[in-house]
Amino acid sequence: MRKGYRVVGTEPSPGTIALDRIRHLLGKIELVADDLLDQVVLKNTLETFRPDEIYNFASPSFLSDSILYPVQTGEISALAVTRLLEAIRDVNPRIRFFQASSSEMFGKVTEVPQSETTPFHPRNPYGAAKVYGHLITTYYREYHDLYACSGILYNHESPRRNPEFVTRKITSGAARIKLGLSKELRLGNLDARRDWGYAGDYVEAMWLMLQQPKPDDYIVATGETHSVRDLCELAFRHVGLDYRDHVVQEAERLRPSETGQLVGNPSKARNNLGWQAKVTFEELVSMMVEADLELSRRGMEEGGDP
């Protein structure tokens, strides 16, 4: 919107998505019903709104959901990408298309860090479906001459992250314990490591990808890893607490790693797009804790328990 865009978002049907995390944008964006499983509906949506750019983020949010519902995951994260690209071909081949690919495509990694040429070896239905979406995007770029590109996104976080993800569990837990709403936080493996970056930085990379003379695929990552323990230490320190006094590691939450060390090499994005992550890990954690403190305080004032 700051760039003068008319922003149109889609949902499967009216009222089917939670609006809490985008409530501040209501009135500034348009939400319309769409159906990624229906080619005709997709084509009609493109004909109605005539977009210049399409950013496809449609996908299950949790890896566990993809294991429970592998067919649905394939429909949304794989085949729907083909439907979108076909709709673009039919309506306006000049539309620029961004596909949100995932570091989960690398799965059982063959090299660390991963680059755009690292072989894929997914270890779950989500990663496998994302591989299909990634490769079909490449196919439409090379064989149908569409401006279609993929960003291979590593973990990207913000205050609007779903509370079920470990980052929000920790930042929300630290805030609630500081305010006396909780006493402890139960977690699994504190030594698991991730390449965590700020979602706002990653969105800038996505936009930059669609502004280039030629489409291409890029790793979008920080190139650094931090442990869950590091995240706990920073989050609790931000509120003047020691995580060791409040975090309980539960043996039943521990599980063998299904993927190797996922850390991206963002040098291609840096060299070709002039992009690099700006928000540090420490700044990201502080930002999220502050947002969760505010959310918890607001809930206390309203007489609730967020």
- Rounded to 5 degrees, what are φ and ψ at 194? -140, 155
Is residue 186 within 8 Å of 250, Cβ to Cβ?
Answer: yes
Residue-wise pLDDT tens for the chain (306 aa)? 578 899 998 887 666 566 677 777 777 888 888 888 899 999 999 999 999 999 999 988 777 788 888 999 999 999 999 999 999 999 999 999 999 999 999 999 999 999 999 999 999 999 999 999 999 999 999 999 999 999 999 999 999 988 889 999 999 999 999 999 999 999 989 999 999 999 999 999 999 999 999 999 999 999 999 999 999 999 999 999 999 999 998 765 555 555 678 999 999 999 999 999 999 999 999 999 999 999 999 878 776 555
Is residue 140 annotated as a catalytic residue, yes or no?
no
Structure tokens, 167: 């980052």
Tokens of 123: 């270890």
Model pLDDT, residue 250:
79
What three-state secondary structure class fits 114? strand
Is 126 tagged catalytic?
A: yes
Catalytic annotation present for 150: no
Direct distance between the N- and C-terminal alpha carbons of the chain, in angstroms, rounded to an integer? 30
Given 59, 101, 102, 158, the catalytic residue: 102
Catalytic residue among 55, 66, 126, 157: 126
> Can you list the domains of the chain with their CATH numbers?
8-157+196-220 (3.40.50.720), 166-192+224-262+279-301 (3.90.25.10)
pLDDT number for residue 305: 58
Token readout for 178 is 């500081």
Report residue 15 as tokens.
């009222």
Q: Which of 55, 59, 66, 104 is catalytic?
A: 104
Give the strand pairing for 226-227 and 193-194: antiparallel
Residue 259: per-residue pLDDT: 62
Cβ-proximal residues to 18 (8 Å cutoff; 6+ apart), any chain: none
Q: Pick left, alpha or beta for residue 305 (phi over 0 → left; psi -120 to 50 → alpha; otherwise beta).
A: beta
